[in-house]
Each structure stands twice: as structure tokens, then as C-alpha cells.
Homo-oligomer: A and B are copies of this chain.
Amino acid sequence: MNLMNPTFIHTYVSVDCIVFGFDYDHRLNILLVQRHLENTPKEKQRKLPGSLILSQEDVDDAAQRVLHELTGIKKMVLKQFRCFADPKRASSPEDIKWMDKEYQPNIDRIITVAYLSLCKIDHKINSTKYDTVDWFPVDQIPALPFDHNLIIQEALKEVRRWVESDFSIVFELLPKKFTIRQLHRLYSDLSKNKIDIKNFHKKISTFNFILPLDEMETNVAHRAARYYKFDKKLYRKSHNKLIK
């Protein structure tokens, strides 16, 4: 092997974070930030929150840093899910122009490590880095730079697999007290298993880890529904289960 083999890649590495939130009307949402580029319409400047990693930083630490700069929230569920490394993923003229300005010139390639996070949508977002942070419903994501649209597609598949393997994940997205209708809608959005609301009610009533509260909805047009809460300890106990 020759000493200066030019065929090995020497590259920048970044992290990108896909933060999911859920609201009853607009369903699943993702946090997008604004990047600033002259001569480009504002609505074309949305992107996933992310950052190049620093020279003494591990990728997991970089993702924690990005999430904290993004939301101001200290403890959030965070899951590394995939590395995206298409050699052409950062080669559009617009993206090169933005990297020149944001980082430094002559960045020829960036490999990114993508992270999933889950956030209660009513949580107050206090970004220390971005001036604009907004929720976007997953079916209304605009065209994004780099391969961010692809990353979001894969993140959706991943969060669905996650819920299949660990149902308790859905409660990270719901308010602390929730109605069965809310839970049903979120579960329907996240699962490939469709189940009607009546059977869902029946099923839920067999779960000892979803507890009815002495509290009903108020100020609603339809019949007021009961609130429930999730008991994580009881869930863990009942899920040391045998082969499915």
C-alpha cells in the first residue's frame, strides 16, 4: 500500500437531530430551524438542527450539545439511529455556499450521524443558538437542503420500529395526562397496525400500566373524556415477557 494513498476519505463529520413532537390536530411534527443565505427566499431556508463535531468531541456529546442549543431542555430521550454518507450529499451549489459561510471554505464532503429525539410538544422551546425554531407536521415538510428530507423519511421508519419494540416510547410524546383518543391517534400514526377506537379502548383497559385519573376534559364540544396517566414502573414489570 503506498504511503499517501489518495483514495481514503478525509472528511468532516456532523450530527443532525430529528426531534419529534405530537399534537392531536396536526399529528406528528418535527422541529426545523432557519439558516440564513442571501438571495434565497426565506421559506427555502429550513433545515434540520445540526452541527459539525468539534475536534475533541464524541458524536453522542455533539448531539446532546445540538439538542440543548436547540431547545434549552436538559434531559431528552436521544437515540443515534444512522450514519448518512452518500459522497454527493453535500454537493449542491446552495449547500456549498452555506457551508463556506457557516463553517469554512472547501468543505468537500460531510458524513452525518443522525439522532432521534422525542419531545412533549407543549414544552417551551428556549433556543440559545437559533433565532427561529418551529414545529412542522411531517406531511408538510418543505424541500430541505442536503439529504435532510431523506433523513426525515428514515427517522419516521425508525421511530415506528422503536414503538413496535417498545410501546412505552409513545408516552414520551403525550402530555402527562392524556385521553384514550389522543393515545389512539398517536399510536395509529406510529404503528403499522391499524386498530379501531372501540377495540383500542378494550385493549387498553387490560393494561395495568395505563391508569384512569379522577379528572375529565373540560371545555370540549364532544362528550368530555377521562384523563389517564402512564405508570413506567408497572410497564417495566409487565414486560419481562416470553417469546412473542
Chain A contact residues, CB within 8 Å of chain B:
1, 3-13, 52-60, 80, 82-83, 85-87, 102-105, 109, 111, 113, 161, 164-165, 167, 187, 191-193, 195, 203, 240-244
Contacts and interface: CB of A to CB of B under 8 A. Distances in A.
Contacts of A13: 9, 11, 13, 85, 111
Nearest to A89: B58
Contact of A80 (B4, B83, B195): B83
21 contacts: A1-B103, A5-B104, A8-B12, A8-B52, A8-B103, A8-B104, A9-B12, A9-B52, A10-B11, A11-B12, A53-B85, A55-B87, A55-B109, A83-B113, A111-B111, A191-B243, A193-B241, A193-B243, A195-B242, A195-B243, A241-B244
Copies of this chain, count: 2
A1 B102 contact: yes
Given A57-B87, A82-B80, A111-B13, A167 B8 contact: no
A54 B243 contact: no
A9 B54 contact: yes
Contacts of A53: 8-9, 85
A237 to B, nearest CB: 14
A46 to B, nearest CB: 20
Contact of A8 (B55, B60, B86): B55
Contacts of A5: 103-104
Given A58-B87, A85-B113, A165-B165, 10 more contacts: A7-B54, A7-B55, A8-B12, A8-B103, A9-B52, A13-B85, A57-B87, A59-B111, A80-B82, A80-B83
Contact of A167 (B10, B164, B243): B243
A82 B12 CA distance: 18
A101 B207 CA distance: 60
A181 to B, nearest CB: 16
Contacts of A1: 102-104
Contacts of A86: 58
List the 6 closest A-B pairs by CB distance, nearest first: A165-B165, A59-B85, A8-B52, A9-B55, A83-B113, A7-B54
A130 B80 CA distance: 31
Contacts of A80: 82-83
A187 B243 contact: yes
